Homo-oligomer: A and B are copies of this chain.
Amino acid sequence: MHRLKVPALSAEMSVPPAELHHLRVLRLRPGAEVRVFDGQGAEASATLLRLDEGGALLALGERLENTRETPQPVTLAVALLKGDKLSDVVRAATELGVARVQLLQTRYADVPDIGEQKLVRLRRIAAEASKQSRRALVPEVLAPMPLARLTLEGQGFLAHPGSGLRLLDKLHWSAPVTLISGPEGGFSDAEVEALTQVGFQAITLGPRILRAETAPLALLGALAASGV
């Protein structure tokens, strides 16, 4: 069943341009059943009313209980790590419910960039892990971008030693959530400063030193253990 992201569930919905291509490739005809979700946890069946050069129109069907996804999409923004560490992180993060993994280029990241082949591999791992954990959503894995270009939509948190704030005390599910996890060498002071100025809140992961591949799983584990 093809799933489409729409800005919001409503009685009649135009298909966003980004999704039109998929519908055309699938050669769907009027009357075809699809699923629509708003990326905020709401999901429904829908029927294709019209698909032509001008766009596509959907009629809302039955709303579905979306039991596998978090109430709001969670993005894990993780610094580039060397070896197979990113594979391990993407696999476990997918099980733990992320909607998106944004790879980050940071000052002290293990490697400056990753090749297209590795990115394709990470996307395949996300798809496999999504299936294994019986999710309906395959997390996006987005190509590396410089930390400085990371913007904040909704709430954002940054695992950072020294903070006493607790993720679950600060998190509310009224907006998308971004969790940032750094490289083995940590973030530079300037990076932390820039992130907090954008609105990211530094939170604790306890008093021990975690490896860069363990920290994101601890963050996401905290969400999973809260039942979402």
Contact = CB atoms under 8 A, between A and B. Distances in A.
A92 interface: yes
Contacts of A222: 221-222, 224-226
Interface string A205-219: 111111100100111
Contacts of A219: 221, 225
Given A218-B221, A218-B224, A220-B221, 5 more contacts: A67-B207, A68-B207, A168-B226, A214-B217, A221-B221
Contacts of A225: 166-168, 203-206, 218-219, 221-222
Interface of A: 67-68, 92, 95-97, 132-135, 164, 166-168, 203-211, 214, 217-228
A201 to B, nearest CB: 13
Contacts of A168: 168, 225-226
Contacts of A133: 208-211
A217 B217 CA distance: 7
A214 to B, nearest CB: 5
B208 A135 contact: yes
Contacts of A223: 206
Contact of A134 (B92, B167, B204, B209): B209
